Amino acid sequence: MANFIDRRLNPKDKSLGNRRRFLRRVRKHIKKAVDASVRERGISDVDQGERISVPAEGITEPVFRRARDAGHRDYVFNGNKEYRSGDRIAKPEQGGGGSGKEGSDSGEGEDDFVFALSREEFLDIFFEDLELPDLIKHSLKEVQTFKPRRAGYSVSGSPTNINVGRTMRNSLGRRLALRRPNQKEVRELQEQIFKLEAVSTPTSKQKKDLIRLHKELEETLRRQKVIAYIDPLDVRYNYFQQQPQPNANAVMFCLMDTSASMGEREKDLAKRFFVLLHLFLKRRYNKIDVVFIRHTHNAQEVDEEAFFYSRETGGTVVSTALKEMLEVIDARYPPSEWNIYAAQASDGENFAGDTDTCVELLNAEVMKRCQYFAYIEILDEAELKLFQGEENGMELWRGYRRVKEDWANFAMKRIASPSDIYPVFRQLFAKKMSGAA
Amino acid sequence: MTAVKTTKAEPLFTTADWNFEVLQRTYDAIEEVAVKDLELNVYANQVEIISSEQMLDAYSSIGMPLMYQHWSFGKHFVNDEVSYRKGLRGLAYEIVINSDPCISYNMEENTMAQQTLVMAHAAFGHNHFFKNNHLFRQWTDAEGILDYLNFAKGYIAKCEERHGVHEVERILDAAHALMNNGVFRYRRPQKLSLKAEQEKEKERRDYEERTVNYLWQTVYSGPEGQKSEAQKEAEERKHTLRLPEENILYFLEQYSPILQIWQREILRIVRNIAQYFYPQRQTKVMNEGCACFVHYHIVNTLQQRGLLSDGAMLEILHNHSNVLFQPSFDDPRYSGFNPYALGYAMMEDIKRICLDPTEEDRAWLPEIAGKKDWKGAIKDAWANYRDESFIQQYLSPKVIRDFRMFAISDYAKDSHVTVSSIHNERGYGEVREKLAQNYDVAVIDPDIQIVDVDLLGDRQLKLRHYKRNGVSLDQKERDKVLALLRTLWGYGVLLEEVDAPPPRH
């Protein structure tokens, strides 16, 4: 008689822990492979998962085994076709070794070890040593928002927190223990007395009973009075602990110049930059709002579609976008509740004289509210070569450099091709910058 | 097949789909044949149905349902998964565990015909072998193993909590490298019992806790020289008495000067698991041969009784011959002898020799030739041999010819190998001898022993490898293992390689 058991619904992925340990073990190699693949593939496909090849060297499991290149050994094979005893056979070139048995028990060869990473694992490693700048400010210990969390019961507290169930249970226990007479007993006594009193000519026994019952009733009522129905001892309150609540909301402002000077190429680059930033924030925050603000000579908040694909004519006044952003922040995203990130993309042109307004706005208002402000200037390859040094550049660039000197959480970079974006991104969020902040 | 009286009955099943009712019905029919006809002696069976993902999980933890966590299992899992997803190889239809009750895992993807085959193969073939073969009887504890693995898993998880994953991993890495050298080959290991094991562990911990006295840690204990010469010598002798020791893990567990108590316990766990698997390594051919023989006999009997439809029988035979496929040495698919093929061929051969011997068989295997009781003969073989001795005893000239076996003599330094003998009158003996040697763990595993250690001096651990036929150790791996061994011993480790004394035949 066999015992059949259906295990199909049992948890699978039993070896998840083993997998995690294995990945940790080959972390270094995986990281290299991930970095390489990020550089190669389009940024918009970054969160796809990846096939990783790890050199077998790092993950061998050595055991004492016999060398292949020494001594004498005998093998037995099957499938002889033409050999007679005494035949001499030239050994095959290195590799085959003529030793099927040995070959099979040596396990995997020196080949690379190939396996696939899931999207999650891939991204984890992709972001591994990136850290949000100024995250320290909102790190758990300094966080200012608290959320009460149930943490058992207490004997003191405010009346609103009384736990009725607990209190009544304690009360019942105490009443039972002290034999507090209940309402039913009192009523029965009263009924008996009432009955006896109704008798017009009581016998002497009935009289005696009546006296006794009166006494009993008196005593019962006394006990009821002395032993409280609910004693302060019984009362229990729900106890709440103040749990620090990580500030888990972020809003990301995308600012972009959409005047005619921004062509398809520039917008495409900007988009990839925004996507990457968004992807990164998505990992750190539960909830992310994205606000798109485009500007020419005036700015407005638009949806994503319009932001990237509609064209406008007009001049370029960057400060309008910053003003619009401030308005949106004040209206909807108080900095005490939201982590505010801003990413601005532009080709670097600005209306003459407006740059000073921008710098002033940034210094006085915007930077105080932002966790981080990243500015990228999208240039041609040729221009990028032209502006080799940091200090050279157009008016906006030079103006922003002044901001950068004052604010550690302000970053700026020039990019010219998709392959520049990732390094820029890395640099923008590299650990050391947040350390400096 | 010879025609037996045919009492035609309804087939047990007619579709490929299975359900538990049909499984149970089929199991009962198989059991009837196995117990009444073949007279097998098996542990109670527990058949568990699992999905392919769960099968992959089981693969990676060396086939055991419970296993502690380690990165190397993750590596195997990743490896298995990749080749499975690529379609490079299928998954086994079943995994069977040497435990009491005998647990076998069947894949849900199997058709009913495959489930029949698998139940006959694992739940009766392997099961009988586990319960009766002397190696398993002597060296493993079928009833204790699952409890023990449960204990091991829990213990190592607890260690990870207490001492950190990294620390535990360090010990396990080193222990795994020495796993093959953590086996008692000559004395019987103690029985595993969960309760005893837990008590022992608790005792160790209690002792540790009881004897902790932080005051003493600040006291200089003085040079060891304070002990008298006689004491010293006694201690040395006491330790020396146990040497040479081939069970390196055991030695480290007992005498390593630097290991903490929990680290010793981990070595012990790895050692016990190695010991548990030791018989399996020695009986691959026999174990699979036995299971294949049993399933073939059972399904044929079922078919003769009309319990299997022709369709199901064809599917079973197709699977059967797939499993038994043996490519020739020059085939790209060749990777040594297929233990299923060799084992099964030898089992069938024993039956043939018993029932229908030739003159040659009478000369080669007089003990069983013509002995009508083939069941008794074959069960005797299953019970009392291991691969090496089984081949030595039972490999008949007919099997050698059928496989067209030939022996090669290979000197590493030569540019040529020599065919030393082939499947002819003169060669049978040598081929048999050589093949048997290739399955002898004493030949396959390098013979490494701890020969000396000066516990009171520089504490250097001296190991010696006895080279058989001049085959030294693979140097790269040897150095890696020695480096790991050093982390367990804490002091210098030295390995010398000497030629083994010629075997006494």
Residues of B in contact with A20 (CB under 8 A): 74
The H-or-E segment that residue A243 falls in is strand A237-244
Query: Domain boundary at A212, A239, A266, which?
Result: A239
Give the strand pairing for A249-257 and A287-295.
Answer: parallel
Cα B327 to Cα B403, B406, B434, B437, distances in angstroms:
10, 14, 20, 21
Least CB–CB distance from B434: residue in A68, A76, A84 = A76
CB contact under 8 A, B419 and A84: yes
Whether the pLDDT of residue A128 is over 70: the answer is no
Task: Give the residue among B198, B334, B218, B331 at the shortest CA–CA distance from B269.
Answer: B198
pLDDT at B133: 92
Adjacent-strand bridge partners of A414: A377
Per-residue pLDDT tens over the stretch A129-160 = 444 344 433 333 334 566 788 888 888 888 88
**What is the CB neighbour count within 10 angstroms for residue B208?**
12
Whether the pLDDT of residue A109 is over 60: the answer is no
Tell me: do A330 and A350 sit in the same domain. Answer: yes
Per-residue pLDDT tens over the stretch A379-391 = 887 777 777 666 6
What's the CA angle centered on B259, arms B255 and B264, to 5 degrees? 75
CB A360 within 8 A of CB A407: no
pLDDT at A390: 66
A326 CA to centre of own chain? 27
Tell me: do A263 and A359 sit in the same domain. Answer: yes
CB A49 within 8 A of CB B94: no
CA dist., res. A233 & res. A5, Å (int): 53
Better-scored residue on pLDDT, A134 or A247: A247
Distance from CA of B43 to the nearest CA of A (A): 10
Distance from CA of A146 to the nearest CA of B (A): 30
**What is the chain B residue with the closest CA to A18?**
B74
pLDDT at B1: 43
Residues 6+ apart with CB under 8 A from B238: none
DSSP letters, B410-434, are EETTSSEEEEEEESSTTTHHHHHHH
Q: Is the peptide bond before B223 cis (omega within 30 degrees of 0)?
A: no
Distance from CA of A69 to the nearest CA of B (A): 5
CB B136 within 8 A of CB B235: no
- Interface residue of B28, B324, B398, B474 to substitute, partner A, most A CBs within 10 Å: B474
- Residue A2 resides in a domain: no
CA dist., res. B131 & res. B137, Å (int): 7
- Residue A419 resides in a domain: yes
Domain count, chain A: 3
**What is the chain A residue with the closest CA to B83?**
A115
CB contact under 8 A, B45 and A25: no
Q: Where are the domains of chain B?
A: 20-133+283-319, 328-442, 445-499
Q: Which domain holds residue A332?
A: 249-436
CB contact under 8 A, B57 and A100: no
Report the complex ipTM. Answer: 0.75
- Residue A136 resides in a domain: no
Burial of A370 (0-12, 13-18, 19+ CB in 10 A): buried
- For chain A positions 8-37, those within 8 Å of chain B (CB to CB) are 8, 10, 12-15, 17-25
CA dist., res. B343 & res. B295, Å (int): 13
CB contact under 8 A, B74 and A19: yes
Tell me: do A343 and A367 sit in the same domain. Answer: yes
Tell me: do A316 and A404 sit in the same domain. Answer: yes
pLDDT at A62: 86
CB B461 within 8 A of CB B494: yes
Is the dihedral angle over the CA atoms B357, B361, B367, B368 positive or is it negative? negative
> Which residue reads 């050999």 in tokens?
A83
Tell me: do A279 and A209 sit in the same domain. Answer: no
Tell me: do A267 and A415 sit in the same domain. Answer: yes
What's the CA angle centered on B188, arms B282 and B269, to 5 degrees? 80
Tell me: do A235 and A311 sit in the same domain. Answer: no
Angle separating helix axes A27-40 and A119-126, nearest 10 degrees: 90
> Rounded to the nearest 5°, which phi and psi values hold at A135?
-65, -25
- Interface residue of B28, B56, B75 to substitute, partner A, most A CBs within 10 Å: B75
What percentage of residues in chain A have a pLDDT greater than 70? 76
Is the dihedral angle over the CA atoms B32, B34, B35, B38 positive or is it negative? positive
In our burial notation (b when 16+ CB lie closer than 10 A, e otherwise), range B390-411 reads bbbbbbbbbbbeebbbbbbbbe
Least CB–CB distance from B336: residue in A2, A65, A101 = A101
Whether the pLDDT of residue A285 is over 80: the answer is no
CA dist., res. A349 & res. A347, Å (int): 6
- Residue A147 resides in a domain: no
Better-scored residue on pLDDT, B202 or A320: A320
Tell me: do A229 and A253 sit in the same domain. Answer: no
CA dist., res. B491 & res. B480, Å (int): 16
Tell me: do A211 and A256 sit in the same domain. Answer: no
Burial of B225 (0-12, 13-18, 19+ CB in 10 A): exposed
Task: Give the residue among A375, A285, A269, A374 at the shortest CA–CA distance from A333.
Answer: A285
pLDDT at A379: 82
A313 CA to centre of own chain? 41
> Rounded to the nearest 5°, which phi and psi values hold at A90?
-65, 140
CB A34 within 8 A of CB A51: no
Residues of B in contact with A81 (CB under 8 A): 328, 330, 404
Cα B36 to Cα A299, B28, B298, distances in angstroms:
91, 12, 11
- One pLDDT digit (tens) per residue for chain B, 505 residues: 444 444 557 888 888 888 888 999 999 999 999 999 889 999 999 998 888 888 888 777 777 778 888 888 888 887 777 777 766 566 677 788 888 889 888 888 888 998 999 999 999 999 999 999 998 888 888 888 888 888 999 999 999 998 988 899 999 999 999 998 888 887 665 555 666 777 777 777 777 777 666 665 555 544 544 556 656 665 665 556 567 788 899 888 888 888 888 999 999 999 988 888 888 888 999 999 999 999 999 999 999 998 999 889 999 999 899 888 888 888 888 888 889 999 999 999 999 999 989 999 899 988 888 888 899 999 999 999 999 999 999 999 999 999 999 998 888 888 888 898 888 888 899 999 999 988 888 888 888 988 877 766 777 888 889 888 888 888 888 999 999 999 998 888 988 888 877 665 5
CB A396 within 8 A of CB A261: no
CA dist., res. B338 & res. B324, Å (int): 7
Task: Give the residue among B53, B38, B61 at the shortest CA–CA distance from B84.
Answer: B53
**What is the chain B residue with the closest CA to A13?**
B57
- Residue A141 resides in a domain: no
The H-or-E segment that residue A415 falls in is strand A410-415
Whether the pLDDT of residue A273 is over 70: the answer is yes
Can you list the alpha helix ranges (DSSP code H) found in B104-144? Answer: 112-118, 127-132, 134-139
CB contact under 8 A, A6 and B49: yes
Range ranked top by mean pLDDT from A7-21, A244-258, B353-367? B353-367
Q: What is the longest distance spanned by two Cα atoms in chain A?
A: 137
Supply A289's token pair.
């709002």
* Long-range CB contacts (within 8 A, 24+) of A393-399: A393/A348, A394/A348, A394/A349, A394/A350, A395/A350, A395/A352, A395/A355, A396/A318, A396/A346, A396/A348, A396/A349, A396/A350, A396/A355, A396/A358, A397/A348, A398/A355, A399/A355, A399/A356, A399/A358, A399/A359
Range ranked top by mean pLDDT from A31-45, A62-76, B224-238, B360-374? B360-374
DSSP letters, B267-319, are HHHHHHHHHHHHHHHH-HHHHHHHHHHHHHHHHHHHHHTT-S-HHHHHHHHHH
Whether the pLDDT of residue A401 is over 50: the answer is yes
Tell me: do A201 and A62 sit in the same domain. Answer: no
pLDDT at A160: 87
pLDDT at B382: 93
Q: What is the domain-level CATH number for residue A359?
A: 3.40.50.410
Calculate mean pLDDT across residues A312-340.
Answer: 85
CA dist., res. B354 & res. B366, Å (int): 10
DSSP reduced 3-state for B186: coil
Tell me: do A412 and A337 sit in the same domain. Answer: yes
CB contact under 8 A, A76 and B448: no
CA dist., res. B184 & res. B174, Å (int): 18
CA dist., res. B18 & res. B11, Å (int): 14
CB A376 within 8 A of CB A418: no
CB B132 within 8 A of CB B382: yes
Kindly indicate the confidence band of residue A48, based on its pLDDT and cuts at 50, 70 and 90.
Answer: low
- Residue A355 resides in a domain: yes
Adjacent-strand bridge partners of A329: none
Cα B348 to Cα A76, A202, A216, B377, distances in angstroms:
21, 109, 98, 12
CA dist., res. A145 & res. A143, Å (int): 6
Tell me: do A274 and A390 sit in the same domain. Answer: yes
DSSP reduced 3-state for A374: strand
